[in-house]
Structure 1
Amino acid sequence: MTILCRNEVDIIGANIKTHAALGVDTFIVMDNGSTDGTRELLNQLAKDYHVVIIDQPSQTYQQALWMKQLVHTARDLGADWVISNDADEFWMPQDSAKTLKDYLNYADSVVTVPKSNMLLTEESLRDDFHFSQLKLRIKYPMRYPVEARVEEQDVSIFFNETPAKVIVNPNGFIKISGGNHRAKHIGNLATGRVENGIRVYHYPVRSWAHFEDSIKHRRELLKNPNAKMGQHYRRWVKLLDEDCLYQEYQRFIIPSDDIPVLKKYGLVTEDPIPSLRMKV
């Protein structure tokens, strides 16, 4: 598993512990200049798990290039499969008796896995809240117009359709997209496939402090006119500049009274799998 991270001290430990229990043998983690203790925690995790740490201090945010380099590093270490991951994503077998390895075979080139966003609920306002307690996830997402994602306040980006993720066979690998959503492989047309037995659970927002720090960092990255970044990040940077970002964070929290309606129309579902299988 390869991970590109920056300031993920609240989640990187659970990420590595969980995926190790689910069958991942080696973690290649590129730390992009963390300042919150993430880098020090990685050193501690490396004492108990096979974690290869690469320091990447550059703030040019060349995600696609860096993730490609990480796949090559994994290949050189003898990996049979590479899961290109983010610190806030958990790859969970839907069958509790299986590990990730049970869904992979040597004949495949690129395995595409569906991804779902986990949603903040009122419980997240408690002092003792931990992201692993979240059970409400998007079931059937919506497809908002691009301009709505940027301009309209009553649109939640987390309800928007989210691209799938990929596991790649490093032999024959060519390149991977910036968000790790697609990969080019010499055998993709013949042996690429979708695997619904695994689901990626995405925790895009946890605490207010982490969200604010992330958007401040994105604001610095966007000073580069050639920076490639999703439109929702540009929206949040704009709100940060207008001193309205906290109101946006508050809108992420789903009120308890709204949940039955969202369930009724198939937008969300209660999913206990990650909280049951996650190691924290």
Structure 2
Amino acid sequence: MIVMTILVKDEIDIIEANIKTHARLGVDAFVVMDNNSTDGTREKLEELSKKYEMTIIDEKGLYNQAKWMKKLAKTAKKIYNPRWVINNDADEFWIPKEGTIKEILSNTKGAVLTCQRYNMVLDESVSEGNFLDAKYYVANPVFYRKETQLTQEYPSIVLSKIGPKVITDPKGLLIIRGGNHKALHLRNLWDYWRHYDKIKRFDKIEVYHYVIRSYAQFEKHIINRKRLLESKKHVRMGPHYRRWVKLYNEGKLKEEFENRIVFKKDAVDVFKRYGIFQETNVGDIIKSSLSS
């Protein structure tokens, strides 16, 4: 059995596509945690749970990804006793190179499978809200330093390197790192202590990340991050989010979106020429799942 865990907060624009696509690709059940969504996400989950095998957890506390993803994994193990757990986010799609997720994982041994992840690209041909029309992903990212992401005006975080994601055997799982990029398992203790770039990727499944889908979604997400940063608790957060919160406070978030997130045709042509952008049919795969 394959179970997918998902942590959501205000993901009404994408959560249905996520559930339907992965169910069609062979995920048997979902364990979804909703953190105080106010945009209809929680109601959509209730609707989807009538068609798909799903356990919904309501979490009212202050956002804590590492703690909650571990809770999701434990819940998946307790309720479904699966062979594999896919630790997912609402904006990520796990696409097999051939066949289905079910077919691939049914014939795979191991404890932790580390899958490469890519950012999807919005360009000016993609109208507001129609993010599934995006045709390109960042195949070869830019390696911005942390200090650059925080202090410089020019970085495009969509272009930056992002960590892989993991599929785990819940039996023997000890720790899932905060962003689900790495897992400590009784059967992979040696690999865990090495840098994850040295761990061999499981190349039969790749993850496509729709990190920014529209300005409305982007702004709402940054407002949620701003509230988290302004809480009294210590918060671990990537430098790019801190930079975006700063830009929001300065009234410059829309400018950031238009100039460094949505790519003009000339820029797309250059990035294609040098292999930074490559084409993908992921959007068509998702659309077919929604229409079937």
TM-score range, shorter chain: over 0.9
Code of the aligned partner of 2:125 = E
Matched, 1:259 2:268: yes
Q: Secondary structure at the match of 1:92?
A: strand
Question: Deviation digits for residues 139-169 of structure 1, max 9, x if unmatched?
Answer: 1111111111112222101111110000000
Contact kept, 8 Å, 1:201 with 1:274, in 2: the verdict is no
Which residue is 1:125 aligned to?
Answer: 127
Which residue is 1:247 aligned to?
Answer: 255
Contact kept, 8 Å, 2:116 with 2:163, in 1: the verdict is yes
Distance in 2 (CA, whole Å) between partners of 1:230 and 1:273 is 26
Q: Secondary structure at the match of 1:200?
A: strand
Q: How does 1:116-265 map to 2 (within 5 A)?
A: 116-125=118-127, 129-189=129-189, 194-223=201-230, 224-251=232-259, 252-265=261-274
Code of the aligned partner of 2:264 = P
Q: How does 1:53-64 map to 2 (within 5 A)?
A: 53-59=56-62, 61-64=63-66
Code of the aligned partner of 1:250 = E
Which residue is 2:110 aligned to?
Answer: 108
Cα offset for 1:200? 0.3
Cα offset for 1:123? 2.1
For normalisation by structure 2, the TM-score amounts to 0.90
Cα offset for 1:40? 0.3
Cα offset for 1:277? 4.6
- Structure 2 unpaired stretches of 5+: 192-198
Distance in 1 (CA, whole Å) between partners of 2:32 and 2:61 is 15
Distance in 2 (CA, whole Å) between partners of 1:277 and 1:6 is 21
Distance in 2 (CA, whole Å) between partners of 1:138 and 1:14 is 21
Cα offset for 1:236? 0.6
Q: Secondary structure at the match of 1:73?
A: helix
Code of the aligned partner of 1:262 = F
Question: Deviation digits for residues 161-195 of structure 1, max 9, x if unmatched?
Answer: 11000000000000101100000000015798521
- Structure 1 unpaired stretches of 5+: none
Distance in 1 (CA, whole Å) between partners of 2:233 and 2:41 is 28
Distance in 1 (CA, whole Å) between partners of 2:89 and 2:75 is 17
CA change 1:107–1:269 in 2 (3 A) is closer
Contact kept, 8 Å, 2:175 with 2:184, in 1: the verdict is yes
Structure 1 range deviating more: 257-266 or 43-52: 257-266
Contact kept, 8 Å, 2:112 with 2:168, in 1: the verdict is yes
Code of the aligned partner of 2:270 = V
Which residue is 1:75 aligned to?
Answer: 77
Cα offset for 1:35? 0.1
Contact kept, 8 Å, 2:17 with 2:286, in 1: the verdict is no
Cα offset for 1:106? 6.0
Code of the aligned partner of 2:212 = V
Q: Secondary structure at the match of 1:120?
A: strand
Code of the aligned partner of 2:268 = I
Which residue is 1:89 aligned to?
Answer: 92
Cα offset for 1:276? 2.9
Identity %: 44
Code of the aligned partner of 2:277 = V
Contact kept, 8 Å, 2:117 with 2:209, in 1: the verdict is yes
For normalisation by structure 1, the TM-score amounts to 0.94
Which residue is 1:276 aligned to?
Answer: 285
Structure 1 range deviating more: 113-122 or 129-138: 129-138
Say what the alpha-carbon RMSD is for the aligned residues. Answer: 1.6
